[in-house]
Amino acid sequence: MKVFKAIVAVVLTVALILVLEVKLPGIPPIAVFLNPATGFWQNAESKHISPTENLKLPGLIDEVIIKFDTHMIPHIFAQNDHDLYYAQGFVTARARLWEMDIQTRSAAGRLAEIVGPAALENDRYQRRMGMVYGAENSIRRMMQDPVMSKVIQAYTDGINAYIHQLSVRDYPIEFKLLDYKPEDWKPINCAFLLKLMSETLAGGSNQFAMTNTLKRFGPAVMNDLFPDYPFREDPIIPAGTKWNFKPLPIPKPSASFIAQMTDTIKTKAKVEGIGSNNWAVSGSKTASGYPILANDPHLDLTFPSIWYQVQLCSPDVNVNGVSLPGSPNVIIGYNQKASWGLTNVGADVLDWYQIKFKDNTKQEYWYNNRWNKVNRRVEVINIRGEQPEYDTILYTHHGPVVYESAAKKTAKSPKNIPVGDALRWIAHDESDDIMCFYLLNRAKNYSDYREALTYLTAPAQNFVFADADNDIGIIPNGKFPLKFKDQGKYILDGSDPANDWHGFIPYEQNPTVKNPPRGFVNSANQSSTDPSYPYYINWQFEAYERGKRINDRLAVMKNATVDSMRILQTDTYSIRAQNVLPAMLGYVDPTKLDDQQEQAYQIVKKWDKYFAANSVGATIFNAWWIKLYGMTWNNKFKDKNLLMQLPSADRTVQLLTKEPNSKWFDNVKTPIHETGADIVYKAFTAAVDELIRKHGKPGEAWELGHIKPMEVAHVAKLDGFGSGNFVSGGSGSTIDALVDGHGPSWRMVVQLGPKVKGYGIIPGGESGNPGSYYYNDMFQTWKDGKLDEMLFMAAPTDDAKQIKTTLTLTK
Amino acid sequence: MLFLLILILSYACGFFMPWWVAAIIAFLAALWIGKTPWRSFFSGFFAVAFVWLALALFKTVPNGHILATRVATLFHLPGWGYLLALTCIIGGLVGGMAALSGVLVKKAIK
């Protein structure tokens, strides 16, 4: 009996320990996570920071001094470039190791390795889109560059120096939650990060949807509803700017320009409204007489931020700004002489080619009047808890056939990828993109800037520039394929060489303007140029409203200051409302409305067109417009069996204001014939009734800030690790474009001159550790629409009251 | 006595050994000087619970409980105190069960 009791106790104890040690689905191993010696409690950082810290690290050439300021932004002072990038790697890893790990894993299609089969389809998609293929090509090129190879290796060594001195209790909390360990950083990870940016900014496609729509409605309708230039535009390169080059011969359209029928398939659709703003104002319009540059890139807002603020100083460079954890150099920022900023171009650098295979073995495909060999590439996808998956991907000269048959596409695969088509994507090409930023960090003048830009392949960005010599300029810049007009608007026949990319636009012929007469330059993802530019970059860009508002404001500005720019960055005036609200109001007969609808009508009629957080008019207009757009197009273009493209907001506004009796307003599913006026009226009553249902009578509950959900979520959307919902103004088409967890991920204003001054803020903090006081300490300032002055030191001995702690790295 | 022995040894080893070493310590200690099942269980329970409480507080108090609050939300607990309690209870259970096993084995082999 005694023996029995003893055995039972021992067995129960061992069982208890096993249950607490082992990883059960959905939760971390309980005791591993909760024990205070090595578990999450160890990630709780103390408020008390020691003012000095000394570390000995292997591989340094000399001593490096890092000064951390009030918000723990590092100011790195090295004696040579090797140590500079080593130190950048080290401190970035110390702040953001998990973010770097998960982003590169995601890009490389290696999530199933840590989370199991749930991520398998995601991983397969990344491999099949050629993310690994592209990263391999890019890193191979970068490691051949004598300068870049050293920069990337030093950065890698710095990160690994950090990783190697970690014990289990030091692992970032997300590693403990997901139960895996950090692994060594490899140079290819820097390339993966770049490919991830390409995927986010230039990896979506609506070619499939467009082709389906073409087949349903025919070319005449496509030309009517999907024109190659918007009705209203305010292009990045001001209209009328002359091109000072002789263009290459433009390729002729291929005979097989229109694609054949494709089966239904799913892919990642182009996300509308991922956009940013930048502008530069010449000294002729500023109070100081020197240029001011502003930039606010819009991305998914996350804790930690996608950006990491840093200053890099060595005998060769002194630059301040934001970096991308995972890549060396400063990506957006300034030095003593010059400043630059980025917005996305949205160029057409991703094309689908219909492939004709010889037979079911798919060993050969038809191209250029003969059969060509299909290459095969096997991707190995490791899956936690299971055998690895071996996925064979077919490659043609265009690129990978992402899903060669309907069987290869699953329910989880993205909707907008056509089956049987090969992908030609700029991200597959070898590139030396990081060199662009290395050179921009050191740029002293306009010609340095032009030189730097020739290294940027993808994602193409509108690079705005200003310097202390009073030059301003902007260039929609990337490696743009040389195409015939609209080549890539629809799926192309992959057997015809006339459909291949015909080379690339020479960098010096990318559209450019320097010191325009109007005294300012701007981009907000609108059309790169007016229709006179000889080359085809894309048939459609983002809506013009933000660009127009910025240009309207800058045109009338005199004696502009940093604060004028800050206020413009948080502007919520709606050009869309300005253009279309009067017409919409005109089509509603208020005598036909009931009491509450009439009340709503009066509110939106008096509305000042600002999407302020406390505006009720904004809520009503927004709901009304969305309903109007949907009621116009959904009955014709939304089909659950066929993915189609809807016409743009711009085309809709044009129809409403210029052709209100257009057949396009008729709802084909109803027997009566509707006009624009009918739809506007119906949309109004439907929108208002829905608002009443959800939020009661028109009043405070209808304020935009209360209706619009907005949150900065954790990268992995962990509950409790985000900001929680907060009140915000703005909409997708106002300058301050806060919508759907998306918005200005960095706001920066730089005053150039004899002593440059930079101002900036990220919605978050420098630390990726939710247990740190620096996880989200800058969030409130950002939320209030304010900027912090950026500390920009000349030497580590600079007296600065803001320095909290000094880290000295020695060899 | 048993409580103090387990307390001191598990505190000392906690920093550089896996968490379940506390179980081994509690088991061996109770095997050596445990008296009755109930007293051994409670000695083991409170010793490890106390060590875990101290180590956790040592980290979370200077942190202003910001991390513990976030993690509590993640696990749908009403507050960081519950998370701390959960930590101590789990540690305590392991210590208690191990100590109980130790004293029962001692009785069985006598």
CA atoms of A126 and A288, how far apart (whole Å): 49
* pLDDT, position A256: 65
* pLDDT, position A273: 57
CA atoms of A734 and A712, how far apart (whole Å): 19
Nearest to A36 among B27, B56, B94 (CB): B56
Asked if residue A735 lies in contact with residue A550, where contact means CB atoms within 8 angstroms, the answer is yes
Provide the mean pLDDT of chain A: 93
* pLDDT, position A260: 39
A to B CB pairs, distance under 8 Å: 121
Residue B28 sits at the chain A interface (C-beta within 8 Å): no
Give the confidence band of A414 by pLDDT, cuts at 50, 70, 90: confident
Candidates A687, A657, A682, A632; CA nearest to A582 is A657
- Higher-confidence residue of A407 and A343: namely A343
CA atoms of A443 and A324, how far apart (whole Å): 19
Q: Is the pLDDT of residue A267 over 80?
A: no
* pLDDT, position A274: 63
A179: left (phi over 0), alpha (psi -120 to 50) or beta: left
User: Could you give the percent of chain A with pLDDT greater than 70?
Assistant: 98
Interface contact flag, B105 A6, Cβ < 8 Å: yes
* pLDDT, position A258: 47
Within a 10 A sphere around the Cβ of B78, how many other Cβ atoms? 9
* pLDDT, position A636: 92
Q: Give me the residues paired with residue A280 across strands.
A: A293, A521
**Tens of pLDDT along A59-115?**
999 999 999 999 999 999 999 999 999 999 999 999 999 999 999 999 999 999 999
Nearest to A31 among B59, B66, B90 (CB): B90
Candidates B108, B102, B110; CA nearest to B32 is B102
Say which amino acid occupies A458: A
Give the confidence band of A3 by pLDDT, cuts at 50, 70, 90: confident
CA atoms of A583 and A625, how far apart (whole Å): 12
* pLDDT, position A272: 54
**Tens of pLDDT along A318-330?**
999 999 999 999 9
Give the confidence band of B17 by pLDDT, cuts at 50, 70, 90: confident
* pLDDT, position A640: 85
Three-state DSSP class for residue A663: helix
Within a 10 A sphere around the Cβ of A784, how many other Cβ atoms? 10
Residue A34 sits at the chain B interface (C-beta within 8 Å): yes
- For A99-109, give one letter per residue: b (16+ CB within 10 A) or e: bbbbbbbbbbb
Give the confidence band of A483 by pLDDT, cuts at 50, 70, 90: very high
Asked if residue B22 lies in contact with residue B48, where contact means CB atoms within 8 angstroms, the answer is yes
* pLDDT, position A587: 94
Say which amino acid occupies A684: F
Residue B90 sits at the chain A interface (C-beta within 8 Å): yes
Residue A48 sits at the chain B interface (C-beta within 8 Å): yes
Interface contact flag, B94 A20, Cβ < 8 Å: yes
Q: Is the pLDDT of residue A257 over 70?
A: no
Q: Is the pLDDT of residue A264 over 50?
A: no
Write down the pTM of the prediction. 0.94
Residue A37 sits at the chain B interface (C-beta within 8 Å): yes
Three-state DSSP class for residue A605: helix
Three-state DSSP class for residue A280: strand
Nearest to A48 among B62, B94, B105 (CB): B62
Q: Is the pLDDT of residue B73 over 80?
A: yes
Ranges of beta strands (E only) in A208-325 are 277-281, 292-296, 298-300, 302-303, 308-314, 317-323
**Tens of pLDDT along A773-807?**
999 999 999 999 999 999 999 999 997 789 999 99
Q: Rounded mean pLDDT of A461-476?
A: 97
**Tens of pLDDT along A332-350?**
999 999 999 999 999 999 9
- Higher-confidence residue of A183 and B18: namely A183
Q: Rounded mean pLDDT of B7-24?
A: 83
* Assigned token pair, A267: 């892919």
Cis peptide before A459 (omega within 30 of 0): yes
Asked if residue A413 lies in contact with residue A125, where contact means CB atoms within 8 angstroms, the answer is yes
Q: Is the pLDDT of residue A266 over 60?
A: no
Give contacts of B90 with chain A, Cβ < 8 Å: 20, 30-31, 34
Say which amino acid occupies A776: N
Candidates A246, A134, A141; CA nearest to A505 is A246
**Tens of pLDDT along A17-36?**
888 888 887 889 999 999 99
Q: Is the pLDDT of residue A221 over 90?
A: no
CA atoms of A450 and A470, how far apart (whole Å): 16
Burial class (CB in 10 A: 0-12, 13-18, 19+), A615: buried
Q: Rounded mean pLDDT of A516-529?
A: 96
Give the confidence band of A263 by pLDDT, cuts at 50, 70, 90: very low
Residue A20 sits at the chain B interface (C-beta within 8 Å): yes
**Tens of pLDDT along A651-668?**
999 999 999 999 999 998
* pLDDT, position B16: 74
Please give the backbone phi and psi of residue A349, each rounded to the nearest 5 degrees, phi first: -120, 20
Interface contact flag, A3 B91, Cβ < 8 Å: no
With the CA atoms of A155, A159, A161 and A162 taken in that order, what torsion angle do they form, in degrees rounded to the nearest 10?
150
The A residues from 72 to 131 touching B (CB cutoff 8 Å) are none
**Tens of pLDDT along A197-217?**
988 887 778 888 888 888 888
Ranges of beta strands (E only) in chain B are none
ipTM for the complex shown: 0.94
Written in H, E and C, the secondary structure of A312-378 is EEECCEEEEEEECCCCCCCCEEEECCEEEEEEECCCCCEEEEECCECCCCCCEEEECCEEEECEEEE
Asked if residue A186 lies in contact with residue A105, where contact means CB atoms within 8 angstroms, the answer is no
CA atoms of A462 and A528, how far apart (whole Å): 8
* Assigned token pair, A691: 């608002």
Three-state DSSP class for residue A458: coil
CA atoms of A810 and A52, how far apart (whole Å): 14
Q: What domains lie within chain A, and their CATH numbers?
A: 35-227+239-262+282-569+741-811 (3.60.20.10), 575-702 (1.10.1400)
Say which amino acid occupies A535: Y
**Tens of pLDDT along A710-764?**
999 999 999 999 999 999 999 988 999 998 899 999 999 999 999 999 999 999 9
